[in-house]
Homo-oligomer: A and B are copies of this chain.
Amino acid sequence: MIGVMTNSTSSSPIVDQVCENGTQHVEILPAINDDHGGVIVEMKESMDSQTFLVLLRASIGQWREQGKKGVWIKLPIELVNLVETAVKEGFWYHHAEPHYLMLVFWIPATANTIPANATHRVGVGAIVLKNEKEMLVVQEKSGRFRGTGVWKIPTGVVDEGEDIFMAAKREVKEETGIDTEFVEILAFRQSHQSFFGKSDLFFLCVLRPLSFDIQKQDLEIEAAQWMPFEEFANQPFIQKHDLFRYIADICLAKVKSDYGGFSPSPMTSFFDDKTSYIYLNNKDLKKFLSSSI
């Protein structure tokens, strides 16, 4: 029997350990414990696949004896030579980003409780109105609207780690040069199977323009202009499609009545001190709070 020693709380490089009775050398992969009874290995140094295989097998054996559950191995793309070895030992892919691949393995005989990967991309559409009459609209050079002649609101994808309201302001600025102040989220749509099987959340936002001189971005935008709202709403394409009809209706409801959307309020997370934003109907909440004092 191999004499194994615990190294699962260390994040130091691979160690060559010798048991006290001197009978056995045991090297294992450097790992830290996670919060769910598993271990995380973050590989950093290059290694040939045969050495990795020996270490991996010894490590799994040790973790199995310790009753560990999930085993995570993060492989930087430079260590791509080790991917095949891990998969052949029973690991599967969990997720990947440009610079690394995360593999995972479940030791117990029970069904695994490995959490799922990120499931949604998040997009924004920006309603920007001048004097409550003219709408900021663009024609796109590529993508689904290319060549259709449709005038649409600026849209874009929320970047990794970006707040929704910041993304809306950024997209408007990038595509048209217009500076804006964020007002509210008026609605959102969730759709599935939109991109490599992932789902999509699209937030319809309204922003107040702070400048009016359009400087269109040349790479993505064919044309940009302030267009009378009725002209936008009367485009046959808008009339024909549910989402665009909703955009036109909600926009009118916002301008002409007191449609209540969700606006962002900063808050502090309860497990760390990070600031994040909660989006809620501040108009109705404030009305209630002031009436209940």
Contacts and interface: CB of A to CB of B under 8 A. Distances in A.
Interface string A76-107: 01001101100110001111111111100000
A81 B84 contact: yes
A269 B191 contact: yes
A120 B201 contact: yes
Given A80-B87, A259-B285, A280-B250, A192 B274 contact: yes
A287 B250 CA distance: 11
Interface string A262-293: 10000111110010111111001101110110
B121 A121 contact: no
Contact of A242 (B100, B142, B270): B270
Interface residues of A, number: 89
A161 B199 CA distance: 6
Given A119-B118, A253-B284, A260-B260, A160 B96 contact: no
A211 interface: no
A252 interface: yes
A198 interface: yes
Identical copies in the complex? 2
Given A118-B118, A189-B278, A269-B243, A96 B99 contact: no
A191 B142 CA distance: 31
Given A35-B143, A119-B118, A249-B289, A161 B278 contact: no
A84 B80 contact: yes
A274 B118 contact: no
Interface in A188-209: 188-193, 195-199, 201
8 contacts: A83-B83, A93-B99, A93-B100, A115-B157, A115-B195, A117-B118, A187-B281, A252-B288
Given A93-B100, A249-B285, 14 more contacts: A35-B144, A77-B87, A95-B196, A118-B119, A118-B199, A161-B193, A186-B280, A189-B277, A190-B279, A191-B269, A253-B285, A257-B287, A260-B260, A260-B281
Interface of A: 35-37, 77, 80-81, 83-84, 87-88, 92-102, 115-122, 142-144, 157-161, 163-164, 186-193, 195-199, 201, 240-244, 246, 249-250, 252-253, 256-262, 267-271, 274, 276-281, 284-285, 287-289, 291-292
